[in-house]
Chain A
């Protein structure tokens, strides 16, 4: 089962666990299983259309999955997935 590294601001929704495991063969499946296991994560990761917010970046083994196959990127059991918060703002 792949491991997901939870960024500090979201650990309050995973019982302060930095690493959690979720099932799936693609990034999409793993992320969906993650929010199923930790439902309070959902509003911070997904938008109303039920797709990942565009300021949620997913890195797989040190690489942004957007440079691979996006959420359809395949994952292996020993992979580590990083959720990296994009930070933006302004007036």
Chain B
């Protein structure tokens, strides 16, 4: 599987990761169809603990955005978050909290410098994440 995203949107994710460093950032991947990100939208990490290792998106924010996007024939096709001072590989915690179908983009950032970006999708049996090729167009 290949997921397409523009350089401009990738840069927005990088900026967000730098802005919240050393805490995790998180946001939405928005599109019309699967596997093509038309835009990203940053959101607040509402985790109350260990925000340098955890992110949580307010379900009400998801609900409201979903309602809003539906009117424009758009939808949430995935999420992004950062792994400060770590690799862009999903953790066990990520897997336990993941949903199928969504694309999960992870950015690794160290000393406020972006190191890597990778995209993942949960296996249908929830046992593992599979890497998706990220095509920056």
Please list the residues of chain A having a beta carbon within 8 angstroms of any beta carbon in chain B: 7-10, 12, 43-44, 55, 57, 59, 64, 82, 84-91
User: Which of A59, A86, A89 is B94 in contact with, Cβ under 8 Å?
Assistant: A89
Contact, CB under 8 Å: B57 / A91: no
By the criterion of a CB under 8 Å from any partner CB, how many residues of chain B are at the interface? 34
- B17 CB, min distance to chain A CBs, angstroms: 13
Which residues of B (27-69) have their CB < 8 Å from a CB of A? 47, 50, 53-57, 59-60, 62-63, 66
Please measure, in the bound complex, the distance between the C-alpha atom of A18 and the C-alpha atom of B87, giving whole angstroms. Answer: 36
**Contact flag A91-B126 (CB < 8 Å), given A12-B100, A82-B63, A84-B59:** no
Please measure, in the bound complex, the distance between the C-alpha atom of A91 and the C-alpha atom of B81, giving whole angstroms. Answer: 10
**Contact flag A90-B101 (CB < 8 Å), given A8-B76, A84-B62:** no
- A58 CB, min distance to chain B CBs, angstroms: 10
For the residues of B in contact with A, the DSSP-based class is: mixed
User: Which of A9, A59, A89, A91 is B100 in contact with, Cβ under 8 Å?
Assistant: A9
Which residue of chain A lies nearest to B28 when distances are taken between CB atoms in the complex?
A: A87
**Contact flag A89-B98 (CB < 8 Å), given A8-B75, A8-B76, A44-B126:** yes
Which residue of chain A lies nearest to B57 when distances are taken between CB atoms in the complex?
A: A87
- A56 CB, min distance to chain B CBs, angstroms: 9
Residues of A within 8 A of B81 (CB): 89-90
Which residue of chain B lies nearest to A11 when distances are taken between CB atoms in the complex?
A: B101
**Contact flag A90-B76 (CB < 8 Å), given A44-B100, A84-B59:** no
Contact, CB under 8 Å: B47 / A88: yes
Contact, CB under 8 Å: B102 / A9: yes
Which residue of chain B lies nearest to A5 when distances are taken between CB atoms in the complex?
A: B66
User: Which of B50, B66, B76, B90 is A89 in contact with, Cβ under 8 Å?
Assistant: B90
